[in-house]
Chains A and B, each alone.
Chain A
Amino acid sequence: MSESSYLLKGATLPNGQAADILIQDGRITSTAPGSSAPSGAVVVDAAGLVALPGLVDLHTHLREPGFEQSETVLTGTRAAAAGGFTSVFAMANTMPVSDTAGVVEQVQSLGDAAGYATVRPIGAVTVGLAGERLSEIGAMAQSRAAVRVFSDDGKCVHDSLLMRRALEYVKTFDGVIAQHAQDPRLTENAQMNEGALSSELGLKGWPAVAEESIIARDVLLAEHVGARLHICHLSTAGSVDVVRWAKARGIPVTAEATPHHLLLTEDLIRSYDARYKVNPPLRRDEDVQALRAGVADGTIDIVATDHAPHPRESKESEWDAASFGMVGLESALPVVQTALVDTGLLGWDDVARVLSTTPARIGRLNGHTHSFEEGAPANLTLVDPADRSTFTLDRLAGKSQNTPFEGVTLAGRVRWTFHHGFPTLRDGELASIEEAAAHARHLAREGVPAHG
């Protein structure tokens, strides 16, 4: 399949230009309108569809190794392809934790073999995510997985000295620390956003200040040591203010927001339905609006899913006992269109920026130009922006079904996803596991860099 040619006729590029996109041998060879299909090429009617550079998720939990009942690298990258993603960064809270070269190389190998998306492992900042001593960051950076993003996600690197050292140390390897900003003492056993509603429902509060105070400390640390810093899943209006202040000061900080924090509010928790349990928690409508404004004005650089699969039994319980997290890869682009594009806050070129080019740059994803220049690797996705449909569980392609969007009407639908010229998603249908694996073998033979 990988050698095949495709002509995507009548697509619209993010900048609004019409294009006939010709894909040959894994690369974009032309976007000029009026191109005719070479013999043997598959012609896709892309009229009305927007072509985006392949989406890049800087924050995915693939759960393997260790939690294969929730997700595997294979099933998680199938979910990615279904959502229009061609690259995913796999978080380090696996079992064993991705804190050694061996584990990150294993995750890399599993991704390389699956063929649905480029998998880039994230390394743990501290051994076992315990927040006590640095993991072997250098070994992971220099391994075959060439790790550039380091995170204890799920846990906050809360020790100030350790955070300082981590920020300094990763400079050696052009890495970045992705901080899960959560003061652990202020959030012991926390269950939902702290406010009048948590008080009424009797659920222990997760105060905004527990996030904002860590971000404030970390941007000042990043300034002091001159290091890059990335803040995961901003969830409060105050966090947006702190990051905006830091950027105005010239501090090299980047920030992300998740689709669910851009659309959903804490009011859903009145049902005590644990599908809405997530960390950081759903916040107030004021926070949702502030996050949207932050994405619109560039304070928030990227949207990342925090795709967090859990098996059914982890959500079918009383609230306190349920796991934190939501799946998000398959719903991300429709949620972004609903929350940001259809509200007039972002254009499609901005969507390409926040869901593809900027996360690729933060994560040092090499070899993905994420442009439509001739000769660029054909990593792209075609979305139907006119679609309005109720999100249903059958749109999930991963192993777990803990989506908060079931029954929600969302705008836009991913139709096609191409990974290095191979259609992982064809008019809404995923490529078979065997075909994807054959594509993966082809890439390996061609010497396409695993992390590029």
Chain B
Amino acid sequence: MRHLLSTKDLGRAEAIQILDIAEDMADVQNREVKKLPTLRGKTVVNLFFEDSTRTRISFEAAAKRLSADVINFSAKGSSVSKGESLKDTAQTLAAMGADGVVIRHSASGAPQVLAQSDWIDAGVVNAGDGTHEHPTQALLDAFTMRRRLFPGDSRGRGLDGVSVVIVGDILHSRVARSNLWLLGTLGATVTFVAPATLVPVGADTWPVDLSFDLDATLALMQPDVVMMLRIQSERMNAAYFPSAREYGRQWGLDDERLARLRPDSIVMHPGPMNRGLEISAGAADSAQSTVLEQVANGVSIRMAVLYLLLSGEREALS
């Protein structure tokens, strides 16, 4: 693998390979010494044009546990905020000898532009670009599902026949997009539930079932997985929905809806959560919730991705 830019262009074998390597990485996390020497001497730059402490420290932990040197480049307060272009930033990092660039950007496609350019030769990992994709989030979500649904028997398999309901602001969610493509590749079926204002135009042509009615969907699907997306309160001002109360009543996972789920179904959230809005405290803290597992699994997935991109075998594995 040369870069990881999206899940849309990940093949099934490639995706399962990443998940399986992440299993190995997770095993390492249970050892007393968590560190591997694999990327010793390599430099990974976390290039964050958008604030995201959670994703950045997850990548940082992943790179450090592989013994890479990590440079954190935050756009805030740097030359970028003074108008430096992506090109100049990239060329600067290239001159410093970055082997891998983990990029988070508010503009969709920025990681692809970086990867296609001749500004820098490093492997590029998309850590979330605009409303386009967040591939490592989808990979860690799939990893979490696989481990929960097939305990002790997760290696080597996809998610065939698994039903996943993703609820919330699909329109602005790169997590929803990356999950849709990856889960489909792995054999799962996906349903999006959202108010019509938050369903992307043209989503009816995507391999997904669309619903406006959470209760009906949960009753009909009895899904294996319910994934709640963060809702941003500023969407109210742009007339996507009238109020937080109305949103929570129609599309929130409250205690009552939680009680109607199958006892073995799991509740996911990419975080950070708005407790009481899209998810109740009861649902977030229930035994069915995987929220903290997702965080732990994120480090394993990102270790696997950095390993595939930056270890000596990266070309052979592509």
Contacts and interface: CB of A to CB of B under 8 A. Distances in A.
Interface in B111-170: 112-113, 116, 129-133
A317 B201 contact: no
B41 interface: no
A272 B126 CA distance: 14
A196 B203 contact: yes
Contacts of A197: 202
B85 A313 contact: yes
Interface stretch (A201-209, A239-247, A330-338): A201-209
Chain B CB within 10 Å, residue with most, of A204, A271, A318, A320: A318
Given A202-B129, A202-B131, A202-B177, A321 B107 contact: yes
A201 B86 contact: no
Interface in A170-202: 194-202
Contacts of A199: 171, 200-203, 206
B282 interface: no
Given A202-B130, A317-B86, A272 B201 contact: no
B205 interface: yes
Contacts of B105: 318
Contact of B107 (A198, A207, A313, A318): A318
Contacts of B68: none
Given A203-B108, A272-B113, A317 B87 contact: yes
A319 B85 CA distance: 12
Contacts of B8: 200
A200 B177 contact: yes
Contact of A319 (B107, B177, B200): B107
B109 interface: yes
B174 interface: yes
A320 B107 contact: yes
B110 interface: yes
Q: Which of A195, A199, A204, A273 neighbours the largest number of chain B CB atoms within 10 Å of its CB?
A: A199
B86 A318 contact: yes
A195 B201 CA distance: 5
A369 to B, nearest CB: 48
Interface size class of B (residues with CB under 8 A): 20 to 34
A277 to B, nearest CB: 11
Interface in A285-313: 313
Nearest to B112: A272
Which 10 residue pairs of A and B lie closest in terms of their CB atoms, listed nearest first? A196-B202, A202-B132, A272-B109, A199-B200, A202-B108, A202-B131, A318-B107, A320-B107, A318-B110, A196-B205
10 contacts: A200-B177, A201-B109, A201-B132, A207-B201, A271-B116, A272-B108, A272-B116, A273-B113, A318-B86, A321-B86
Contacts of A200: 8, 177, 202, 206
Interface string A66-100: 00000000000000000000000000000000000
B108 A319 contact: yes
Contacts of A373: none
A90 to B, nearest CB: 29
Contacts of B85: 313, 316-317, 321
Interface string B81-122: 000011100000000000000000111111011001000000
Contacts of A271: 112, 116
B109 A203 contact: yes
A405 to B, nearest CB: 19
A201 B69 CA distance: 32
A316 to B, nearest CB: 5
A320 B106 CA distance: 9
Contact of B201 (A196, A202, A318): A196
Contact of B109 (A202, A204, A207): A202
B202 A195 contact: yes
Contacts of A313: 85, 87
Nearest to B49: A318
Interface string B175-206: 00100000000000000000000001111011
Contacts of A318: 86, 105, 107, 109-110, 113
B130 to A, nearest CB: 5
Interface string A246-276: 0000000000000000000000000111000
